Amino acid sequence: MGKQIIPGSDAITVQTDGSVVVKETKNTNTGKLGTFMGLTKITVSTTAPTNPDVGDIWLDTS
């Protein structure tokens, strides 16, 4: 099983081997279905961004 990194969602999980799995999910910012290519960016960080842009997703590596 991967590590769920978006609370209440299985949109992105990090597998035990470190790979990232992105599932098609509803983008709550636009109300439309989005895919990985539609995301603004993915940032790997130990902390959440203090001022994230709309559509940003970060990987919680803690």
Domain locations along the chain? 3-60
pLDDT for res 17: 77
Per-residue pLDDT of the chain (62 residues; tens, 9 = 90+): 455 455 555 566 677 777 776 665 454 444 444 444 444 455 555 566 666 666 666 666 55
The helix (H) or strand (E) run that includes residue 57 is: strand 57-60
pLDDT for res 31: 40
Q: What is the C-alpha radius of gyration for the chain, rounded to an integer number of angstroms?
A: 11
pLDDT for res 16: 75
| Residues 34, 41, 18, 26, Cα dihedral to 10° | -20
pLDDT for res 4: 47
pLDDT for res 8: 52
- Rounded to whole angstroms, the Cα distance separating 25 from 57 reads 12
Say if CB 40 and CB 56 are below 8 A apart. Answer: yes
